[in-house]
Homo-oligomer: A and B are copies of this chain.
Amino acid sequence: MKVLALAGGVGGAKLAAGLAQTLPPADLIVVVNTGDDFQHFGLRISPDLDTVCYTLAGLANPDTGWGRAGESWTVMEAVSLLGGPSWFQLGDRDLGTHLERTRRLQEGQPLSQITRHFCQAWGVLPTVLPMSDDPVATMVHTAQGVLPFQEYFVHLRCEPQVTGFHFEGLHQARPAPGVLEAIQQADLVVICPSNPWVSIAPIVELPGIKPALQGLPVVAISPIIAGQAVKGPAAKMYRELGIQPSAAAVAAHYGSQIDGGLLSGFVIDTQDAAQAQLIASAGLAVLVTETLMLDAAGRRRLAGKVLEFVNKLPASGVVIS
Distance in Å: Cβ of A87 to nearest Cβ of chain B = 12
Q: Which residue of B lies closest to A83 (CB)?
A: B121
A77 to B72 alpha-carbon distance, docked (Å): 13
Distance in Å: Cβ of A92 to nearest Cβ of chain B = 4
Q: Which residues, 177 to 234 on A, are CB-close (under 8 Å) to B?
A: none
Which among B83, B84, B94, B102 is the interface contact of A41 at CB below 8 angstroms? B102
Residues in B with CB closer than 8 Å to A100 are: 41, 78-79, 82-84
Interface string of A77-116 (1 = CB under 8 A from B): 1110111110000001111110110110010000000000
Distance in Å: Cβ of A113 to nearest Cβ of chain B = 13
Distance in Å: Cβ of A58 to nearest Cβ of chain B = 14
Task: Give the oligomeric copy count.
Answer: 2
Residues in B with CB closer than 8 Å to A94 are: 78
A321: interface (CB < 8 Å): no
A75: interface (CB < 8 Å): yes
A74: interface (CB < 8 Å): yes
A42: interface (CB < 8 Å): yes
With A78-B97, A95-B78, A96-B81 as given contacts, are A102 and B42 in contact (CB-CB < 8 Å)?
A: yes
Residues in B with CB closer than 8 Å to A81 are: 96, 121
A76: interface (CB < 8 Å): yes
Residues in B with CB closer than 8 Å to A82 are: 96-97, 100, 117-118, 121
Residues in B with CB closer than 8 Å to A106 are: 42
20 pairs, A vs B, C-beta closer than 8 Å: A41-B103, A42-B99, A42-B102, A43-B99, A72-B92, A74-B96, A75-B75, A75-B96, A75-B99, A78-B100, A79-B96, A81-B121, A82-B96, A82-B97, A82-B100, A82-B118, A83-B100, A84-B96, A84-B99, A92-B92
